Amino acid sequence: MSDTSEAVDAHGAATGAAAVSGTEVAPDAAELDARDELARCRADFVLDGPEGTVYLDGNSLGALPRSVPARLADVVEREWGRLLIRSWSESGWWTAPERTGDRIAPLVGADPGQIVVGDSTSVNVFKAVVGAVRLVREEHGVAEGGGRDEILVDAATFPTDGYIARSAARMTGATVRAVPVSAMAEAAGPSTAVALVNHVDYRTGELHDLAAVTSAVHRAGGRVVWDVCHSAGALPVRLDADGADFAVGCTYKYLNGGPGSPAFLYVRREAQPRFDSPLPGWTSHADPFAMADGYAPGDGAVRGRVGTPDILSMLALEEALTVWDGVSVEAVRAKSLALTDFFLRRVRTYVPGGRAGRLRLTPLTPQEHERRGSQISLLCEDGSAPGGDDPAEAVMAGLHARGVVGDFRRPGVLRFGFTPLYTSFADVDRAARTLGDVLRNTGREAGG
């Protein structure tokens, strides 16, 4: 639990707004929505009406942008159906990985030419970690077994990142050491090759200091691979300005690319000529259609490519990214903080004292804005059944049954993701009110 975690009722005074029922919108939520400069963006997504679902799971899967179905239909019917193989050139299929990467670049603080889209997050983490180990050893003039043989991994990382790091370590003759992000600067030293760090903790929603961690690892002579899955599209990321070496992100969360949409790989421009990918493929070759026996890597971000691009999902993502036209990440961040603040206040209103029956809520997400991503995680505990069934699962099932969609992580964590492009303050009010109702019902069922 974060050292800033405290009971819900200790976060401050309640707003004093009267509880509302059904689909009625609290006056202050309606006022906030009326002043919201991003409210217009909601129409760009396929969402239920005001009496439908409140969707607070964009940190797992973003909503469908309204223009994507027509774009996909055109890709299938015309580009694939009629143009067939000519679309690799005439429809721009071949250059889609770099072109889409350049669309993502301003959302993560990168200049063009440093991001390529393709493969999964896991595959890109593998490329980045192995490539970073090789780069650092080259810089320090050491071979395998000669030093720079440690990979530091965020101790609270998403499990796959840890699995991939251990596989990369076996491949490079390195070892993995799990370290809390708060201790990463102190842990980095002469043995450090790479640090693999999450920008936002997937479980708690805590935002880490990308610039400070990167600087500390650089002082120790290592490189950093950042996992920005839970920050890209949710808050300002400054990969170029803050000195990031490599970054990997998924596109189906806050970037709304669709289930399983391809991930992206950022390779800092100065590192690109020395990026030795462990997965060299024909599409990253300097002359891919020469079909040469020997591999010669291409220049720039193209080095991050492997095989044939997944065109259908790639072009769905490219179209999805058009919702960002005319939208600033800074405005998104301001609304994200306003939404999460409003949610916490509403939870205090509808769950006074942080308790409902025998169930108790405790925030895991830091209160400080500078340490908060775009989600709120609440620890849900049942004092009557220590070690029993996970109460968060029952509570989330109750929320889903009442049209509020979030998710949970064992043990006991309720997660609510706030996507400012389509989440309204009315949504937030309804979600918190429904949470209070579900907690009271679940508490009674538990004997409270």
Enzyme catalytic residues: 158, 227, 252-253, 415
Residue 87 CA to residue 289 CA, distance in Å, equals 16
Residue 116 CA to residue 131 CA, distance in Å, equals 15
N-terminal to C-terminal alpha carbon distance within the chain: 25
Cβ contact 333:231 at 8 Å:
no
Element (DSSP H or E) covering residue 334: helix 329-350
362 SS3 class: strand
Task: Kindly list the distances between the CA atom of residue 251 and the CA atoms of 95, 98, 187, 241, in Å, as whole numbers in the listed order.
Answer: 18, 15, 31, 22
Residue 98 CA to residue 314 CA, distance in Å, equals 11
- Tokens found for residue 400: 């889903």
67 Cβ contact list (under 8 Å, min separation 6): 44, 319, 322, 323
Residue 437 CA to residue 53 CA, distance in Å, equals 16
Residue 36 CA to residue 64 CA, distance in Å, equals 21
